[in-house]
Structure 1
Amino acid sequence: MVTFNLTPSVSSTFILNGIPGLEASHIWISIPFSIIYFVSLLGNFTLLFVVGKEQTLHKPMYLLLCMLALTDISMSTSVVPKVLCIFWFNWKDITVGGCLTQTFFLHSVSVMQSAILVTMAFDRYVAICNPLRYNTILSNARLAKLGLVCLIRAVLFILPLPLFLKRLPFCAKRIIPNTFCDHIAVAKLSCGDITVNSMYALVIACLVIGLDLMLIVLSYALIIRAVLRISSKKAHQKALNTCTSHLCVMLIFYIPCLFSTLAHRFGQGIAPHVHIIMANLYFLIPPMLNPIIYGVKTKELREKVQISTCQMCSPVATEFKSA
């Protein structure tokens, strides 16, 4: 197990303090947290099941939705079970290895999800601006390679974070005023110099968010230019409707992400419980809303979900009647 450079008198565990100032309300706060988590798991697993089952959905667009669903499940599951343990059982201890693993996993999944959103923007660009070559440019094999590149990029960018934490000396104070092991929150507990940690995290945040947003904006600028060249209003509406879902998903991912990143560094005036609740909602709300948005806005997917649901309910109804 990876260990910090701790003094002999200090335990090799950290304490996650939950939501400071709202400890008495942890049980009540756990109710919406657990409901949102359950709905997000149900929605994302349903999407994975339906796309996996239906051969007609084995297309780049729906395979990208599966990648997004996997990152949503990974993101929420890496945080929420531990949060609920804190709220329900007051299990606040987390081992150093567990803390490092959670830090790496959280940030790498976030970076990978950002890359998937860029790929989805490129998918929409090709579908609208070059529809005749869509299957050639974005074949399933090429999409799998893009997914692998997204994963490698996330690992290479985020792997230094736990390694930088490992080299820091940690003294007596080991209470993390949060519900999960965020990199900066852990680094601030060190009694050593965290300049390298802070600068690297800031550079990665600017590089990932800045570059990915720039590519997404470029894709949509080209899409808008192509749509404006179409004379038919019906064609305008159809083309823009295909982008609505992705725009909604992009907004609910990047807005909380930007808020959390900026609040860590410049949000000294923000109450700690507000900051922590917003940080937790970043891991809860997008995973819950993403499958709902795509299920409502994508007609083909919505129909397949309805068919699959009816097929699953029919044997149950038949068995109930026979009983």
Structure 2
Amino acid sequence: MTITPPPAAGPIGAPPAPGPASGAGTGPITPDELQRARRIFDTIVAGYSQKVVGQDSLRTTLLVALITGGHVLLESVPGLAKTTAAESIAESVSASFRRIQCTPDLLPADIIGTQIYDPSTATFGTQLGPVHANFVLLDEINRSSAKTQSAMLEAMQERQTTIGGENHPLPSPFLVLATQNPIEQEGTYHLPEAQLDRFLVKEVLGYPSPAEEAEIVRRVNAGVYEPGGTHGQAVTLDDVRFLQKLVHRVYLDPAVLNYIVQAVYVTRHAEQYLPPALAGYVEYGASPRASIAFASVARALALLSGRGHVIPEDVKSYRYQVLRHRLILGFEADADGVTPETIIDAIFGAIQAP
């Protein structure tokens, strides 16, 4: 079944406005630039793979977030190498890394920093918090209070912190990996939907295969994870900034852009395009941030694949990561065991790829 949204949908069926969204006004990516990007990616992946076994989807997600400037919400049970993965990527790009363990008594000042009084000079000095790093791992973000979550999410959005009335820019690149534990909800604060929407993607990790788990044990026994262990070759932050500029020049055809907007449009009007049994589970669809995220992620995936243009598969392959935290389902879905992924599959089955 295919759909053609009604004219009231606005941008659907219309060409995109000139500017970064369509690659207008910039030249095509050259083969030399693609080769340089491939060398950078290969170096980062090699450093990541030295310590992290499997988790290929997480690796791709971290690379996508790194070159698009987005942030990642990660859901998994404990012990699946979330910290190791983030730290390995940071080491591979010569970046600073900080881990923040969220607790109910964590204060905003513990994250962004505060002013410290110096009695010897009778003045206040600014002490920056751990958020002032290139890579920040917020472990169990839903265990911190709403006030602390708000301070962190403001830093993510504004790329700066305010301490004592002074603005302090965050370093570039800046990537936040926030984790949630799905099996323990006692003493947690649910992230509001508006805050969830600010994460570029949401990744859900599963357990490793038996072969991967055996390799993890072998690496632990070999001391790979000991402090001062072997580190591979690293790229520079200038290389990362090169990728961040290059990804904006990846060509996004108007037909692919319409494909993105159609998918997001259907999330808001599920009753018109999905079977009633599925449409009834959807309470709210995705905001325009979903379309923006799809475009950014698709460009990054194209660049990771060595292409200077986006294809529909770049959009479809990351449909779960972009939409699963933006699609709000009713309590009936939870009672009936219907997951966001089921609805997302139905949505993409209802539209026609270009």
User: Is TM-score (shorter-chain normalized) higher than 0.5?
Assistant: no
Q: TM-score range by the shorter chain?
A: under 0.3
Structure number with the higher strand fraction is 2
Structure ranking higher on relative contact order (CA contacts 8 Å, 6+ apart): 1
Q: Give the TM-score of the pair, scaled to structure 1.
A: 0.23
Q: Give the TM-score of the pair, scaled to structure 2.
A: 0.21
Structure number with the higher helix fraction is 1
